[in-house]
Amino acid sequence: MTLMLSNDDAEKVLTMAGAIEALELVYRDLGIGSAVNRGRTDIFAPTVAEIGADVPSAHQFKTLDGSIPRLQVASIRVTSDVVAWPEVNGKRRRIKIPAATGKRYVGLVFLFSSATGELISIVQDGMLQRFTVGAINAIGAKYMAREDSSLVGLIGAGGQAAPQLAALKLVRPIKKVRVYSPTEGEAAAFCKINSEAIGLEMTVASSPEEAVKGVDIAVTATNSRVPFFPAKWLEPGMHLSCMQRDEPTDDCISAVDVAVFHTKLKEHEYVSTDFAAMEKKHKFVIRDHPPRELNWDDFPDLGELVAGRTPTRTNASQKTLFLNSTGVGTQFTTLAHLIYTKSLEQGLGHKVPVDWFVESIQP
């Protein structure tokens, strides 16, 4: 049987502690070369969805895949997104449009057995995504941030912000958080909802500079497509944890003592000719992330860090950076497998005949 699992099922079995433990093991696998990923692929084409006359938009079809021999599974994550790039407060952002039935999104992880080749599970990826991004950045902090880190400055208060804090709290003795959001009222609402839920004292900052001044760990959790965290905001001993690569400026990356990227892999992007014409009309390169002059091979990755193959912080005054540069397939393979095995134990999900997904004709 093939098990179909929803975000509701995932929420019942996933814990942040469990996600961190499972992912730390797979990054050790990657560090020693026993797990393998293929670089992310993005296909962009125009969309007929109504976004706004002056807002560039597209259909983004994205895949990531990875194999973990230790678990005898492989997976491919597929997202089919309608996306747009509006300007908010003078800065370009990327947003997903809930264009699917019921104003929803489409994202699935297809989990395969390496022993039989069969499709053993299809998992909705929303809850999985929130857990994996929070856990990955927390693993970076576990290996790079000062062990006595207790004060956090958070820039961004969207859907990915709370998992960042929930995960960080499990690897460092975090007690207080200052929160900034450029959207009026968002930071206050975030603090009200999450302070008790996560168990941290939270206050609102009036500016990003105020949020990160004097903190032990600065966390960026935004959808900005314009780098905004400069070197001058860094302070001795600070660890900067960036949820995506369009947050720290180039001078910020150069200024830290130790920088680790999530992966050396880059996404491969393909566009149709009519999409390229739309880019020309709007006068900017419309991609998930704008091009940057960074040589990712210059930086160690998280697998190398966890496997002990690259140096980390050596004293309390060093400035460190973990940059979640892009996703890798094995992060989704790992958590999809975790969700699948725990759901089997608890009798969750919907079973469908495996005959629907196998064939007698050799492809």
- Res 286: pLDDT: 67
In this prediction, residue 360 has a pLDDT band, given cuts at 50, 70 and 90, of very high
* Strands of the sheet with 217-220, listed across from one edge: 201-204, 176-180, 151-155, 217-220, 239-242, 320-323, 258-261
Answer yes or no: are the C-beta atoms of 51 and 57 closer than 8 Å: yes
Structure confidence at residue 333 as a pLDDT band (50, 70, 90): very high
Task: Check residues 345 and 272 and name the one with the higher pLDDT.
Answer: 345
Highest mean pLDDT pick, 94-103, 187-196, 275-284: 187-196
Across the chain, mean pLDDT equals: 93
Mean pLDDT, rounded, for 303-324: 96
pLDDT band at 288 (very low <50, low <70, confident <90, very high): low
CA distance 102 to 168: 34
Per-position DSSP letters for 96-113, written without gaps between them: EE--BTTTB--EEEEEEE
Rounded mean pLDDT, 256-278: 90
Q: Mapping DSSP to helix (H, G, I), strand (E, B) and coil, where does residue 296 land?
A: helix
Token code pair at residue 201: 């004292």
User: Is the pTM value of this prediction over 0.75?
Assistant: yes
pLDDT at 295: 82
Give me the pLDDT at residue 264, please. Answer: 92
What integer pLDDT is reported at residue 207 of this predicted model?
96
Quick check: 136 pLDDT over 80? Answer: yes
Segment 273-289 mean pLDDT: 76
Per-residue tokens: 46: 């125009």
Decide if pLDDT at 22 tops 80: yes
How many Cα atoms are found within 13 Å in the side-chain-facing hemisphere of 289? 21
Q: What is the pLDDT of residues 171-205, one digit of tens each?
A: 999 999 999 999 889 999 999 999 999 999 999 99
Largest separation between any pair of C-alpha atoms in the chain: 64
In the predicted model, is pLDDT for residue 287 greater than 70?
Answer: no
Q: Which ranges of the chain would DSSP assign to H, the alpha helix? A: 7-13, 16-32, 126-144, 161-171, 186-198, 208-212, 250-255, 273-282, 302-306, 329-346
- Percent residues over pLDDT 90 in the chain: 77
Mean pLDDT (whole number) for 25-32: 97
Domains, in order of start, for the chain: 2-128+328-357 (3.30.1780.10), 134-266+292-323 (3.40.50.720)
Q: Give the tens place of pLDDT for each residue, 207-233.
A: 999 999 999 999 999 987 788 999 999
Mean pLDDT of 326-354: 96
- Give pLDDT tens digits for 139-154: 999 999 999 999 999 9
Beta-ladder partners of 351: 3
- At 112-134, the pLDDT tens digits run 999 999 999 999 999 999 899 99
Task: Evaluate if residue 30 carries a pLDDT over 80.
Answer: yes
Beta-bridge partner residues of 122 = 4, 110
